[in-house]
Amino acid sequence: MAEYPLTEEQIDSYRRDGFVELHDILSAEEVADLRDALEEAMQAPSTSGVDRTGRSDYDRVFLQKVNLWADHEGVRRFTCHPRIAEVARRLAGADRIRLWHDHALIKPHVDSKPSPWHQDLPYWPMEQQGALSCWLALDDVDETNGCMHFVPKSHTWGKLEPINLINPQDIFGLTPEPAEKDFTPRPVPLKAGSCTFHNGLTFHYAPANRGSTPRRALVIIFMPDGTTFSGKLHCVTHDLGLSPGDPIIGERFPVLAPVGVG
Ligand SMILES: O=C(O)CCC(=O)C(=O)O
Protein backbone atom coordinates (compact mmCIF):
# COMPACT_ATOMS: atom_id res chain seq x y z
CA MET A 1 0.00 0.00 0.00
CA ALA A 2 1.59 3.27 -1.07
CA GLU A 3 -0.94 5.91 -0.15
CA TYR A 4 -3.69 5.36 2.42
CA PRO A 5 -7.12 5.49 0.74
CA LEU A 6 -8.48 8.28 2.97
CA THR A 7 -12.03 9.19 1.98
CA GLU A 8 -13.86 12.52 2.10
CA GLU A 9 -16.27 10.89 4.61
CA GLN A 10 -13.37 10.14 6.94
CA ILE A 11 -12.09 13.71 6.65
CA ASP A 12 -15.61 15.04 7.38
CA SER A 13 -15.94 12.69 10.34
CA TYR A 14 -12.58 13.87 11.77
CA ARG A 15 -13.60 17.51 11.45
CA ARG A 16 -17.08 16.93 12.90
CA ASP A 17 -16.17 14.66 15.83
CA GLY A 18 -12.53 15.61 16.46
CA PHE A 19 -11.24 12.08 15.81
CA VAL A 20 -11.38 9.30 13.26
CA GLU A 21 -10.30 5.66 13.22
CA LEU A 22 -8.40 4.27 10.24
CA HIS A 23 -7.93 0.58 9.71
CA ASP A 24 -4.73 -1.11 8.57
CA ILE A 25 -2.62 1.99 8.03
CA LEU A 26 0.34 -0.40 8.47
CA SER A 27 0.69 -3.89 6.99
CA ALA A 28 1.32 -6.91 9.24
CA GLU A 29 4.97 -6.88 8.16
CA GLU A 30 5.34 -3.20 9.03
CA VAL A 31 3.75 -3.80 12.45
CA ALA A 32 6.29 -6.55 13.15
CA ASP A 33 9.17 -4.25 12.14
CA LEU A 34 7.85 -1.39 14.27
CA ARG A 35 7.38 -3.62 17.31
CA ASP A 36 11.03 -4.72 17.04
CA ALA A 37 12.21 -1.14 16.57
CA LEU A 38 10.17 0.14 19.51
CA GLU A 39 11.44 -2.63 21.75
CA GLU A 40 15.03 -1.64 20.96
CA ALA A 41 14.36 2.09 21.20
CA MET A 42 12.76 1.71 24.64
CA GLN A 43 15.97 0.06 25.92
CA ALA A 44 18.37 2.54 24.29
CA PRO A 45 19.54 5.71 26.06
CA SER A 46 17.44 8.73 25.10
CA THR A 47 19.42 11.73 23.86
CA SER A 48 16.56 13.95 22.93
CA GLY A 49 13.69 14.03 25.34
CA VAL A 50 11.60 12.60 28.10
CA ASP A 51 12.35 9.09 29.33
CA ARG A 52 9.77 7.95 31.87
CA THR A 53 10.36 4.24 32.12
CA GLY A 54 10.75 3.90 35.87
CA ARG A 55 8.43 3.05 38.73
CA SER A 56 6.61 6.29 39.58
CA ASP A 57 2.82 6.80 39.61
CA TYR A 58 3.18 8.34 36.15
CA ASP A 59 4.76 5.11 34.89
CA ARG A 60 1.68 3.17 35.99
CA VAL A 61 -0.36 5.36 33.60
CA PHE A 62 2.19 4.68 30.88
CA LEU A 63 5.89 4.26 30.27
CA GLN A 64 6.80 7.09 27.94
CA LYS A 65 9.74 7.97 25.77
CA VAL A 66 9.70 11.10 23.62
CA ASN A 67 11.33 11.65 20.22
CA LEU A 68 12.46 8.11 19.64
CA TRP A 69 12.68 8.90 15.93
CA ALA A 70 15.71 11.08 16.57
CA ASP A 71 17.67 8.20 18.10
CA HIS A 72 16.43 5.15 16.26
CA GLU A 73 16.38 4.60 12.50
CA GLY A 74 13.80 1.81 12.77
CA VAL A 75 11.33 4.10 14.55
CA ARG A 76 12.14 7.04 12.26
CA ARG A 77 10.93 4.99 9.28
CA PHE A 78 7.44 4.99 10.83
CA THR A 79 7.33 8.38 12.56
CA CYS A 80 8.30 9.97 9.24
CA HIS A 81 6.22 7.57 7.15
CA PRO A 82 4.85 9.52 4.16
CA ARG A 83 1.63 7.48 4.18
CA ILE A 84 0.82 8.54 7.74
CA ALA A 85 2.00 12.13 7.31
CA GLU A 86 -0.11 12.62 4.19
CA VAL A 87 -3.21 11.49 6.10
CA ALA A 88 -2.34 14.00 8.86
CA ARG A 89 -1.88 16.76 6.30
CA ARG A 90 -5.23 16.11 4.65
CA LEU A 91 -7.13 15.80 7.94
CA ALA A 92 -5.62 19.08 9.17
CA GLY A 93 -6.36 20.74 5.82
CA ALA A 94 -2.78 22.05 5.75
CA ASP A 95 -0.56 22.76 2.74
CA ARG A 96 2.41 21.34 4.63
CA ILE A 97 2.53 19.27 7.80
CA ARG A 98 5.46 19.13 10.24
CA LEU A 99 6.37 16.63 12.89
CA TRP A 100 5.86 18.02 16.41
CA HIS A 101 7.20 14.93 18.17
CA ASP A 102 6.63 11.21 18.59
CA HIS A 103 6.36 9.20 21.77
CA ALA A 104 5.94 5.59 22.77
CA LEU A 105 3.14 5.05 25.28
CA ILE A 106 3.33 1.61 26.85
CA LYS A 107 0.55 0.97 29.34
CA PRO A 108 1.77 -1.67 31.79
CA HIS A 109 -0.53 -4.58 32.66
CA VAL A 110 0.70 -4.85 36.24
CA ASP A 111 -0.69 -2.30 38.70
CA SER A 112 -2.00 -0.29 35.74
CA LYS A 113 -3.70 3.11 36.00
CA PRO A 114 -6.05 4.78 33.51
CA SER A 115 -4.85 7.65 31.32
CA PRO A 116 -7.12 10.43 32.64
CA TRP A 117 -9.44 12.49 30.46
CA HIS A 118 -7.50 15.36 28.95
CA GLN A 119 -6.92 17.52 25.90
CA ASP A 120 -3.37 17.62 24.48
CA LEU A 121 -3.09 21.18 23.22
CA PRO A 122 -2.98 22.79 26.71
CA TYR A 123 0.42 21.07 27.26
CA TRP A 124 1.90 22.22 23.95
CA PRO A 125 3.63 25.59 23.36
CA MET A 126 1.62 26.53 20.28
CA GLU A 127 -0.22 29.75 19.51
CA GLN A 128 -2.49 28.08 16.94
CA GLN A 129 -4.87 25.16 17.08
CA GLY A 130 -4.68 22.45 14.43
CA ALA A 131 -2.05 20.02 15.75
CA LEU A 132 -3.18 16.40 15.74
CA SER A 133 -2.03 12.98 16.94
CA CYS A 134 -1.88 9.62 15.25
CA TRP A 135 -2.31 6.92 17.95
CA LEU A 136 -0.94 3.79 16.31
CA ALA A 137 -1.80 0.46 17.93
CA LEU A 138 0.96 -2.13 18.09
CA ASP A 139 -1.28 -4.61 19.91
CA ASP A 140 -4.94 -5.39 19.44
CA VAL A 141 -6.71 -3.10 21.93
CA ASP A 142 -10.18 -3.02 23.43
CA GLU A 143 -11.75 -1.86 26.68
CA THR A 144 -9.98 -4.55 28.71
CA ASN A 145 -6.42 -3.50 27.87
CA GLY A 146 -6.52 0.27 27.44
CA CYS A 147 -8.01 1.28 24.09
CA MET A 148 -8.53 4.97 23.46
CA HIS A 149 -11.87 6.66 24.25
CA PHE A 150 -12.90 10.02 22.77
CA VAL A 151 -15.66 12.51 23.45
CA PRO A 152 -17.16 13.37 20.06
CA LYS A 153 -17.21 17.11 19.27
CA SER A 154 -15.27 18.05 22.43
CA HIS A 155 -12.70 19.78 20.18
CA THR A 156 -15.29 22.53 19.83
CA TRP A 157 -15.15 23.33 23.57
CA GLY A 158 -11.96 25.39 23.28
CA LYS A 159 -8.62 25.05 25.05
CA LEU A 160 -9.10 24.35 28.76
CA GLU A 161 -6.63 24.01 31.65
CA PRO A 162 -4.09 21.16 31.45
CA ILE A 163 -5.15 18.11 33.48
CA ASN A 164 -2.78 16.74 36.11
CA LEU A 165 -2.19 13.20 34.82
CA ILE A 166 -1.37 11.79 38.27
CA ASN A 167 -4.10 13.52 40.31
CA PRO A 168 -6.62 14.61 37.68
CA GLN A 169 -8.94 17.53 38.45
CA ASP A 170 -12.67 17.25 37.82
CA ILE A 171 -12.87 18.22 34.18
CA PHE A 172 -16.39 19.55 34.63
CA GLY A 173 -14.91 22.14 36.96
CA LEU A 174 -12.87 23.37 34.00
CA THR A 175 -15.54 23.67 31.37
CA PRO A 176 -17.51 26.93 31.50
CA GLU A 177 -20.97 25.47 30.84
CA PRO A 178 -20.74 21.75 31.65
CA ALA A 179 -24.49 21.20 31.46
CA GLU A 180 -24.46 22.09 27.77
CA LYS A 181 -21.74 19.61 26.94
CA ASP A 182 -22.55 16.05 25.93
CA PHE A 183 -19.87 13.96 27.58
CA THR A 184 -20.71 10.59 26.05
CA PRO A 185 -17.41 8.87 25.34
CA ARG A 186 -16.84 6.54 22.46
CA PRO A 187 -14.38 3.64 22.97
CA VAL A 188 -12.35 2.76 19.89
CA PRO A 189 -11.09 -0.85 19.86
CA LEU A 190 -8.39 -1.33 17.23
CA LYS A 191 -6.39 -4.12 15.64
CA ALA A 192 -2.60 -3.77 15.65
CA GLY A 193 -1.57 -1.70 12.64
CA SER A 194 -4.71 0.44 12.80
CA CYS A 195 -4.83 3.91 14.30
CA THR A 196 -6.88 6.86 15.37
CA PHE A 197 -6.17 10.50 14.59
CA HIS A 198 -7.39 13.03 17.13
CA ASN A 199 -7.43 16.81 17.23
CA GLY A 200 -5.29 18.40 19.98
CA LEU A 201 -8.48 19.73 21.59
CA THR A 202 -10.45 16.45 21.66
CA PHE A 203 -10.93 14.98 25.14
CA HIS A 204 -9.57 11.45 25.33
CA TYR A 205 -8.90 8.77 27.91
CA ALA A 206 -7.74 5.15 28.16
CA PRO A 207 -8.74 2.73 30.95
CA ALA A 208 -6.23 0.73 32.95
CA ASN A 209 -4.74 -2.26 31.19
CA ARG A 210 -6.37 -5.37 32.71
CA GLY A 211 -4.85 -7.65 30.07
CA SER A 212 -1.91 -10.00 30.47
CA THR A 213 0.69 -8.07 28.42
CA PRO A 214 1.73 -4.41 28.08
CA ARG A 215 -0.32 -2.30 25.67
CA ARG A 216 2.05 -0.73 23.13
CA ALA A 217 1.33 2.37 21.05
CA LEU A 218 3.42 4.79 19.02
CA VAL A 219 1.92 8.27 18.96
CA ILE A 220 3.05 10.60 16.17
CA ILE A 221 2.09 14.23 16.58
CA PHE A 222 1.87 16.65 13.67
CA MET A 223 1.38 20.40 13.36
CA PRO A 224 0.54 22.53 10.35
CA ASP A 225 3.52 24.41 8.95
CA GLY A 226 3.29 27.99 10.21
CA THR A 227 2.54 27.00 13.80
CA THR A 228 4.27 29.47 16.14
CA PHE A 229 5.74 29.23 19.65
CA SER A 230 3.64 30.47 22.56
CA GLY A 231 6.41 30.67 25.17
CA LYS A 232 5.07 27.79 27.27
CA LEU A 233 7.80 25.55 28.70
CA HIS A 234 7.94 22.17 26.94
CA CYS A 235 10.54 19.38 26.91
CA VAL A 236 10.78 19.34 23.11
CA THR A 237 11.49 23.07 22.68
CA HIS A 238 13.13 24.08 25.99
CA ASP A 239 16.70 24.17 24.62
CA LEU A 240 15.98 25.94 21.32
CA GLY A 241 15.98 29.56 22.48
CA LEU A 242 12.60 30.28 20.86
CA SER A 243 10.75 33.51 21.65
CA PRO A 244 6.95 33.81 21.60
CA GLY A 245 5.75 34.22 18.04
CA ASP A 246 8.71 32.41 16.48
CA PRO A 247 7.79 29.70 13.95
CA ILE A 248 8.38 26.17 15.25
CA ILE A 249 10.71 25.01 12.47
CA GLY A 250 14.11 23.39 12.05
CA GLU A 251 15.50 19.90 11.85
CA ARG A 252 13.66 18.74 14.99
CA PHE A 253 10.35 19.51 13.22
CA PRO A 254 10.72 18.29 9.62
CA VAL A 255 8.05 18.84 6.98
CA LEU A 256 6.76 15.30 6.38
CA ALA A 257 4.12 15.98 3.76
CA PRO A 258 3.90 16.69 0.95
CA VAL A 259 6.97 14.53 0.35
CA GLY A 260 10.05 16.29 -0.98
CA VAL A 261 9.24 19.72 0.50
CA GLY A 262 11.12 21.52 3.24
O1 LIG B 1 -2.20 5.95 25.27
C2 LIG B 1 -2.81 6.44 26.22
O3 LIG B 1 -3.13 5.77 27.19
C4 LIG B 1 -3.15 7.89 26.21
C5 LIG B 1 -2.75 8.53 24.93
C6 LIG B 1 -2.81 10.01 24.94
O7 LIG B 1 -3.15 10.64 25.90
C8 LIG B 1 -2.44 10.72 23.71
O9 LIG B 1 -2.08 10.11 22.70
O10 LIG B 1 -2.51 11.96 23.72
Phi, psi of 98 (to 5 degrees): -110, 155
Looking at residue 178, what DSSP letter applies? G
Average pLDDT score, the chain: 92
- Domain 8-244 classification at class level: mainly beta
Q: 8 Cβ partners below 8 Å, 6+ apart?
A: none
Q: Would you state the pLDDT for residue 193?
A: 98
Query: Computed from CA positions of residues 53, 24, 258, 128, in that sequence, does the dihedral angle turn out positive or negative?
Result: negative
What are the tens digits of pLDDT across the range 139-160?
999 999 999 999 999 999 999 8
Q: 49 Cβ partners below 8 Å, 6+ apart?
A: 65, 66, 67, 70, 101, 103, 235, 236
CA distance linking residue 165 with residue 33, whole number of Å: 31
Q: Would you state the pLDDT for residue 55?
A: 61
State which of 19, 59, 105 you would mutate to test the pocket of ligand 1, scoring each by most atoms of that ligand within 8 A of its C-beta.
105
SS3 category, 205 = strand
Q: 76 Cβ partners below 8 Å, 6+ apart?
A: 69, 70
State which of 195, 216, 219, 221 you would mutate to test the pocket of ligand 1, scoring each by most atoms of that ligand within 8 A of its C-beta.
219
Does residue 48 surpass a pLDDT of 70?
A: no
What residue spans define the domains of the chain? Answer: 8-244
Q: Would you state the pLDDT for residue 21?
A: 98
Q: 64 Cβ partners below 8 Å, 6+ apart?
A: 50, 51, 52, 53, 58, 103, 104, 105, 106
Q: Is the CB of 217 under 6 A from ligand 1?
A: yes
Q: Would you state the pLDDT for residue 178?
A: 63
What are the tens digits of pLDDT across the range 156-209?
999 988 888 888 877 766 666 666 778 899 999 999 999 999 999 999 999 999
CA distance linking residue 251 with residue 48, whole number of Å: 13
Q: Is the CB of 107 under 6 A from ligand 1?
A: yes
For residue 146, how far is its CA from the centre of ligand 1 (angstroms)? Answer: 10
Asked if residues 65 and 104 have their Cβ atoms less than 8 Å apart, the reply is yes
Q: Is the CB of 136 under 6 A from ligand 1?
A: no
Looking at residue 171, what DSSP letter applies? G
For residue 244, how far is its CA from the centre of ligand 1 (angstroms)? Answer: 27
Query: Within its chain, how far is the Cα of 210 from the centroid?
Result: 22
Determine which helix (DSSP H) or strand (DSSP E) holds 115, and give its type and residue range. strand 115-118
> pTM of the entire structure?
0.94
For residue 118, how far is its CA from the centre of ligand 1 (angstroms)? Answer: 9
